[in-house]
Structure 1
């Protein structure tokens, strides 16, 4: 069987969702507000807090599976943060955000989109695989939890755009940000993540091929991230 550690298996926090929430809040308090990674971190904190509320309210049919998926998901982002802090290279999908996090010509919404692109496209796909290994189940058995987490992302997407969208004097039809928003889709990213998770799981008996697939996925998402972070204006 494939050893998923070869492409960065992440250990589940012993403190569960509360543990990852604490770590994300600690980062939020430590980083300057305008820092690009901090912009994504605030968005992700809101998502994780909402998932936690829904877990407590019994919104998920299988609370254990949902919380395991949520923690596995969060741990991959936190591992990228730790890699940078330790002067190690994070996954390719995260590198553009860390590289451009202080660029004056990149807008807050771009930082948020670049982080969401990396986290959903790469981290969510591998978190599904991690969860299947942890719970000894197939991806199909997690589909309901995956979709319910997606519902949380959809409800927050509009709020994210409202909070980070430039004012009407800046946001015109000719504004390049308009075209970036139209080119990237949360729904398509989630669909692609689910397909990638199923593919990686299906390749678990072929470790070299699985590793190559994940590497190509990571590299491709890194390229998309660089496009999303194209400087649009100097402030």
Structure 2
């Protein structure tokens, strides 16, 4: 598993780093598509934390930052674990849709990183996963709402049925809610295994590989865009 950072950066620092990454990547870059989505999620969480919507503000902020740090470490300097590898490999593939990039990133981050971030946060705060469950659920609510908006904004229109049909079929096989539930179960399992480091390492590696397989399927190329469509080639 990734070694814990020595200090916890604030949410504002996380937002600044995401903005810097987004500015450095060309338009249409697959990782950049996810980065834009995640930036919106983080800004919304920051707003809700500042508004007092989280009873445990410190716990929510710590979980949010530890969660983001998992992605930022990969995006800024690597190494790239199995769960993120498909998105980084296919980030410029012309036959993969922006919606696929966004959801593959969400799958990697929620399916793998969130479990490890819960464990990281528990170690920093000296608490149990159950103490962070309310914050975890609030984060999940924001993710679900944004996933619905992402699907609406990035899904091809009804005039592109030859594209939308296979895309709808592919994305219908994945659920953020199921990924989030699996992430919570994985976090509890990793916490329970903390006294058995070799077994915990093996469990985390298997989780990484399984989530990476799902991301790879989400990024299945679906053919060229219609150059006359508003979605472009």
Q: Same fold by TM (over 0.5)?
A: yes
- How far, CA to CA, are the matches of 2:102 and 2:198 in structure 1? 33
- For the 8 Å contact 2:8–2:65, the answer to whether it is kept is no
Q: CA deviation at 1:172?
A: 5.8
With structure 1 as the length reference, what TM-score do the two structures score? 0.92
Q: Who is 1:83 aligned against?
A: 77
- How far, CA to CA, are the matches of 1:76 and 1:167 in structure 2? 34
- For the 8 Å contact 2:95–2:221, the answer to whether it is kept is yes
Q: Who is 1:4 aligned against?
A: none
**Change in CA separation of 1:90 and 1:11 when aligned onto 2, cut-off 3 Å:** same
State which of 33, 36, 39 in structure 2 corresponds to 1:42.
36
Q: CA deviation at 1:215?
A: 0.2
Provide structure 2 residue ranges, at least 5 long, that are not aligned to the other structure: 225-232
Give the superposed CA RMSD: 1.4
Q: Who is 1:180 aligned against?
A: 170
**Is 1:209 paired with 2:199?**
yes
With structure 2 as the length reference, what TM-score do the two structures score? 0.93
**Change in CA separation of 1:171 and 1:143 when aligned onto 2, cut-off 3 Å:** farther
Q: How many residues align?
A: 225
SS at match of 2:159: coil
Q: Who is 1:194 aligned against?
A: 184
- How far, CA to CA, are the matches of 1:189 and 1:200 in structure 2? 16
Cα deviation code 1:126-172 (max 9, x no counterpart) = 00000000000000100000001111112212111111111211246
**Is 1:154 paired with 2:144?**
yes
Runs of 4+ in 1 over 2 A off after TM superposition: 12-15, 171-174
Higher RCO (C-alpha 8 Å, min separation 6)? 1
State which of 163, 166, 186 in structure 1 corresponds to 2:156.
166
**Is 1:8 paired with 2:6?**
no
Provide structure 1 residue ranges, at least 5 long, that are not aligned to the other structure: 1-6
My pick for the range that moved more, 155-164 or 110-119, is 155-164
State which of 115, 121, 124 in structure 2 corresponds to 1:131.
121
Cα deviation code 1:83-127 (max 9, x no counterpart) = 34xxxx311100000000000000000000110000001111100
Q: Who is 1:61 aligned against?
A: 55
